[in-house]
Amino acid sequence: MHMREPKTLRRPTPDEAARGVKFAHFNKNFSVYRKLIEDLGPNDRFRVSTRPTGHGEKVYEMTRAEFERALPHWVSSPSYNEINGCWYTQTAGHPPHEIERYLVAS
């Protein structure tokens, strides 16, 4: 099965790396890629930048453990575990309220 990765995947900047960020990517809506998350240790951070239609850019940083605690219904969903084997996205405008505490810029 082909494992998808975001086309916008990038290495962290030096400042991001100093905070423990291992990768970053941009997507119109908040999204995670299981393959990338599973490669992280529990305390490794990742960064997702979004620009939902009609809204300004929002940037989130969190650890793998924080993501799994905040969105257990995503982690256990068929979309995350089976469909393409790698990703889940919030498709309608606003990211899930459970991750708002991880907002670092807007």
Instruction: Tell me, yes or no, whether 6 lies in a domain.
Output: no
Per-residue pLDDT band at 44 (split at 50, 70, 90): very high
8, part of any domain: no
In the chain, beta strands by DSSP E: 21-27, 31-33, 45-50, 58-63, 87-89, 103-105
Report the number of distinct structural domains present in the chain. Answer: 1
Cα–Cα distance list, 15 to 37, 65, 83 (Å)? 20, 21, 34
Tell which wins on pLDDT, 84 or 41.
41
Report yes or no on 19 lying in a domain.
yes
Burial of 74 (0-12, 13-18, 19+ CB in 10 A): buried
- Distance separating alpha carbons of residues 70 and 62, to the nearest angstrom: 10
Domain extent, residue 76, equals 14-105
71: in domain: yes
pLDDT for 5 equals 72
102 has a pLDDT exceeding 50 = yes
More confident call, 87 vs 63: 63
